[in-house]
Amino acid sequence: MKPQQLAGGNYDMKYHRTRWAVDPNIRYITGEVTSYFVPTEPSVATISFDFSSQLQLDSVRYHGQPVTTAQVGNELQITLPAPIMQGQLDSVTIWYQGNPPQTGFGSFIKMNHAQGPIIWTLSDPWGGKDWWPCKMTLDDKVDSTDIYITTPQAYKAGSNGKLVSTQTIGTDKTYHWRHRYPITNYLIAMAVSNYEEFTVVAPLSQGPLDIVNYVYPQTLATAQSQVPGIVPIIQLYDTLFTPYPYMGEKYGHAEFSWGGGMEHQTMSFMANFDRDLMAHELAHQWFGNKVTCASWHDMWLNEGWATYVESLVYERMNTPAQWLAWKTSEINLVTSAAGGSVYVSDTTNINRIFDSRLTYSKGGMLLHMLRWVVGDSAFFAATRNYLNDPALAYKYALTADFKQHLEQASGKNLTEFFNDWYYGQGYPRYQISWHQNQTSGELQVTINQTSSHSSVSFFEMPVPVRFTNGSADTTLVFNHTTSGQSFTVPIGFMATSATLDPEKWIVQKNSTVTSVPEIDIQSAVKVYPNPAHDKMYVSMNFPAQQTIHATLTDALGRVVISKQIPGFEADGFELDVTALQTGIYHLQLRSADWVITRKVARR
């Protein structure tokens, strides 16, 4: 897929007044779009719009007069009769018609459901130009819109904002939707069908909100039974994050025949009214709509967030077992392949941008792990600050913006975390061994780690392990900063079992937790033959799982052999003493927890 060449770099789009005429029986659109803009350069003589070459351009007028245009690929270039000065508000009107092309996820679709026809649009990520002249960059939200949709009287037309009027003219009806909040191009949409309509009211922190629903006749009863379930969900978001972002207008749903949902601003298009889908698309009104990713590289700020917010509904409205099952399922999906980053490196590939494993699930679990690392208080405070930041609210954000708010709220430097989990690929595999001193009750815990992908050598994380004996339990959190790290911790009971990360805070797979019986280290180490002539062997009759440092010193204390043995090889290794003079030596074996010295001889 070729990169998208986007128009409109020399002006700031302010307002659209769109007049669209569609009949859901016919795949065709007739449009008139008036766009107000402000030049961002000292003098602008030409402006351009993203506009498909497959549409028919009828005319373009500036102050009522026709102007010169040129179609260059999918870019409509408009030459103004005189340059416009920077900061001067101006407008053009474009008339067009045609059978739009179908790209991306469809962009402009005409089809039939069980009891009638439907036309719907879905412009994410680059489909807007297929059906109307617009500006598709991720750096310019239009301040407001008035959308007029004319269709035969048998049909209803749903769109962004608040329905302020309907007007019947002959056999047609025009729906006027007014939206007075900033909106990015791909969230502007319409859906036209023989809809039934009903409204559910949600009492929120700033007053009642209408949830307006346009549904197929055959699904009306089902929708009426399911949609009220969104009320406690929107109340949760309204208090957990910020008040609903479009309180002056509405939220709503328009049913469409697609395999999921699309979070069009103030009216999500829905394949069904399953609670998880409603929760996900509603979450986008905060994450993706109020604050929109400023680059397709950062798509997780939209989809990872909506996925994780969906899970917060499980945490607060379902049983602990269901919440745990949700996290387990997500971890299993993320770890079903060894690699893959949340960061989208190839933004020309729509399937990579919207990769369910990486952008949605790993993005969601990245947020879950951030919450674990910084704590609930800092995590949710940072999230609210991010949504309320005047530089980001109703605008665009990059991953660095969210990271900055997390660091400010927590006081932690999260650069390594983002390098590992956002830019890096893969996940950790833990090998944990533990034993408990029968006299002191102290736990001895050693944690080793390997990575599923070479891009990250080590994932530094707080690692929770639960110890229990059937009647008592405790969860200890180990600040794991290096593989082979050992910890000594007293607990108030004798543990019989241990479980890694029982609450599923960390994305990890194929990890092991092993109980090692307490042993006499001194008697477990054997050195033979002793004296030795050429090779000396050291056996350790226990699983060390720690790096062992072996040094051999002569009678004057000089180190003549120094060797480091990785923990998993430390059950047996050899020393070559061929080059040594005959005599007495001292062999020292040292780990993080113990030191053993043996007198040995070379003959």
Report how far residue 67's alpha carbon sits from residue 592's, in angstroms, rounded to the nearest whole number: 79
Domains of the chain: 1-194 (2.60.40.1730), 296-423 (1.10.390.10), 428-515 (2.60.40.1840), 521-602 (2.60.40.3080)
Q: Which residue spans within 205-284 are E strands per DSSP?
A: 207-215, 251-255, 261-262, 268-270
Q: Is 232 helix (H, G, I), strand (E, B) or coil?
A: helix
Closest of 202, 302, 286 to residue 244, by C-alpha? 286
State the pLDDT at residue 543: 59
Are 284 and 307 in contact, with CB atoms under 8 Å apart?
no
State the pLDDT at residue 85: 97
> Cα–Cα–Cα angle for 45, 47, 51, nearest 5°?
155
> And the tokens for 471?
């009647």
Q: Where are the alpha helices (DSSP H) in 389-455?
A: 399-410, 415-418
Report how far residue 335's alpha carbon sits from residue 330's, in angstroms, rounded to the nearest whole number: 9
> And the tokens for 510?
């194929």
Report how far residue 571's alpha carbon sits from residue 184's, in angstroms, rounded to the nearest whole number: 62
In sequence order, the β-bridge partners of residue 98 are 29
Q: Which residue, chain included where needed, has tokens 């990769």? A: 355
Number of residues in the chain = 603
Closest of 169, 213, 211 to residue 191, by C-alpha? 213
State the pLDDT at residue 523: 77
Close Cβ partners of 439 (under 8 Å, ≥ 6 residues apart): none
State the pLDDT at residue 5: 52
Report how far residue 141's alpha carbon sits from residue 47's, in angstroms, rounded to the nearest whole number: 17
Q: Is 72 exposed, middle or buried (0-12, 13-18, 19+ CB in 10 A)?
A: exposed
Residue segments in the chain with a per-residue pLDDT below the cut of 70: 1-6, 518-520, 542-545, 567-571, 592-593
Q: Which long-range contacts (CB under 8 A, 24 or more apart) does 453-457 make?
A: 453/338, 453/339, 453/424, 453/425, 453/426, 453/427, 455/339, 455/341, 455/424, 455/425, 455/426, 456/419, 456/420, 456/424, 456/425, 456/426
CA dihedral 258, 264, 269, 275 (to 10 degrees): 110
Q: Is 456 helix (H, G, I), strand (E, B) or coil?
A: coil
Are 387 and 40 in contact, with CB atoms under 8 Å apart?
no
State the pLDDT at residue 561: 93
In angstroms, what CA-CA distances link 512 with 296, 425, 429, 603? 37, 21, 8, 44
The pTM of the full predicted model, rounded to 2 decimals, is 0.88
Close Cβ partners of 325 (under 8 Å, ≥ 6 residues apart): none
Q: Is 187 helix (H, G, I), strand (E, B) or coil?
A: helix
